[in-house]
Amino acid sequence: MRLTTTRYRGLGGRLTALALAGVLLTLPGCGGGDSGGGGEAGGPVTLRFSWWGNEDRAKLTQKAIDAFQAANPGITVKPEYSDFNGYFDKLATGVAANDAPDVITLGGAYPREYGDRGALLDLAEVSGELKTDKIDKAALSNGNFEGKQYGVPTGVNAFGVVVNPKVFQAAGVPLPDDNTWTWDDYQRIAQQVGKAAPKGTYGSEDPTSSDALDLFARQRGESLYTEDGKIGLTEQTLTDWFTMTTAMRDSGAAPPAAMTSELAGQPSPEQTLMGRGLAGMQLDWTNQLGSLRSASGSELRLLRAPGESAATKPGMWLQASQIYTISARTKHPKEAAKFLDFLVNSPEAGKITLANRGIPANSDVLAAVKSSLPKDEAASGDFIAAVTPKVGPALVIGPTGSTESVKILERVNAEVLFNRLSPADGAKRFLKGLNSAIK
């Protein structure tokens, strides 16, 4: 869920250079001096709550807010949401102007970036109002940096492969056995599907994303980032990845470079090849299954990532789908924490939002809502339950600057797929760009 391609629906975005500069200039003086312990003399409190999403998410979120306000009549929650593409730039601008929302939804490396800059509250300060003992530990670690818990997960996701059985059936190719398949199998199967399926249909979308690279590297005992904030991905692993993806392009297993480049800038499920019924396989997050099923009109399935059974170490992991955080500048930290406690720990809230922000990370909430989950979310929940005993340790979240990996990888991948860079040179270019970003 760290950032992946611009399509990633669980994290996302990037800070503009101008907004980043503003954050760096204004945050050193915001170490909580403006924070207060609540409303004046127990008076009414208004909390601003920011998040990204569509109208469906907005309606569900408002219902949860209404339920919280009914139980807490002295607290009003004002939602502030936007679509995925503009959310992080808008947030950065607000933080830079000392106008951050009280409760902020983040994802990927953003909790670490904002936490390192002093923009987020250490949740240890509100541990009396916000409990975390029933929350999945791997997902909880996604909001913990340098020993400080800056955020709590909205839910849990896993990164695997979405497959369209209709496309496989049309091509006369059996579905892969995800208990045994390798990356070589993935290429071979994608090529078979691409050759036999109707014209304009591909065995796989181009699989390149920072999450896919991390999974590929973890299977080799590496990782995109190390615990001390360095790059843990070797040049050879990157070269092998680009060698695989260019071979898939050449064989017709994946789309030509021009199509992949065009798709990289289209974040909605409806615009992907999988969402349009034109791809047999796509690496993606479990929380995208419902949207992709709806867009494609097909009963899509989730499979374990290739290479897991033969890997040096498991590459798959459990990821917080999004992270709820509290601004360090909030004047109402206890009320903000009380609101978060309701969102992540209340079965009442869970029954409203269900799996809209991932499978509930709180075990009690999951048990309470499991029978109510819609078919698509239930399928995601079953998949996560099945892979949980087999996944690797929690992901190492990238250091400050690592959110730029999305755009760096997008540019380098295009250069490689258009044959302007060899796989080896693409590996060098990506590592150089990422090193510069995190420094």
Q: Which of 171, 229, 227 is nearest to 204 (CA)?
A: 171
Question: What would the pLDDT profile of 246-291 be if each residue is shown by its tens digit?
Answer: 999 999 999 999 999 999 876 678 889 999 999 999 999 998 898 8
Question: What would the pLDDT profile of 152-200 be if each residue is shown by its tens digit?
Answer: 999 999 999 999 999 999 999 999 999 999 999 999 999 999 999 999 9
Kindly write down the DSSP assignment for every residue of 241-306, as one continuous string: HHHHHHHHHHHTSS--HHHHHHHHT--SGGGSTTTTT-EEEEEEEGGGHHHHHHHHTS--EEEPPT
User: Judging by DSSP bridges, how do beta strands 323-326 and 103-106 pair with one another?
Assistant: antiparallel
364/305 Cα distance (integer angstroms): 28
Which contiguous run of DSSP H or E holds residue 157?
strand 156-163
Question: What would the pLDDT profile of 55-80 be if each residue is shown by its tens digit?
Answer: 889 999 999 999 999 999 999 999 99
- Homologous superfamily of the 45-155+319-380 domain (CATH): Periplasmic binding protein-like II (3.40.190.10)
Task: Dig out the tokens for 54 from the structure.
Answer: 């569509």
**Radius of gyration (C-alpha) of the chain in whole angstroms:** 21
325/49 Cα distance (integer angstroms): 10
Whether the CB-CB separation of 320 and 139 falls below 8 Å is answered with yes
Neighbours of 385 (CB within 10 A): 13
Question: What would the pLDDT profile of 291-310 be if each residue is shown by its tens digit?
Answer: 899 999 999 999 999 999 88
The residue ranking higher by pLDDT, 22 or 156, is 156
Domain boundaries, the chain: 45-155+319-380, 158-317+396-437
281/185 Cα distance (integer angstroms): 12
Name the DSSP letter for residue 331: S
Question: What would the pLDDT profile of 393-425 be if each residue is shown by its tens digit?
Answer: 888 888 888 888 989 999 999 999 999 999 999
Share the mean pLDDT of the chain.
Answer: 88
High-pLDDT (> 90) share of the chain, %:
69
Q: Do domains 45-155+319-380 and 158-317+396-437 have the same CATH topology?
A: yes
- Homologous superfamily of the 158-317+396-437 domain (CATH): Periplasmic binding protein-like II (3.40.190.10)
Confidence of residue 108 (pLDDT cuts 50, 70, 90): confident
Distances (CA, A) of 163 to 116, 121, 122, 237, 274: 39, 41, 40, 25, 8
Which contiguous run of DSSP H or E holds residue 93?
helix 84-96
Task: Dig out the tokens for 67 from the structure.
Answer: 């339920």
Task: Dig out the tokens for 56 from the structure.
Answer: 């469906």
Average pLDDT over residues 316-338: 95
Task: Dig out the tokens for 50 from the structure.
Answer: 């920011």
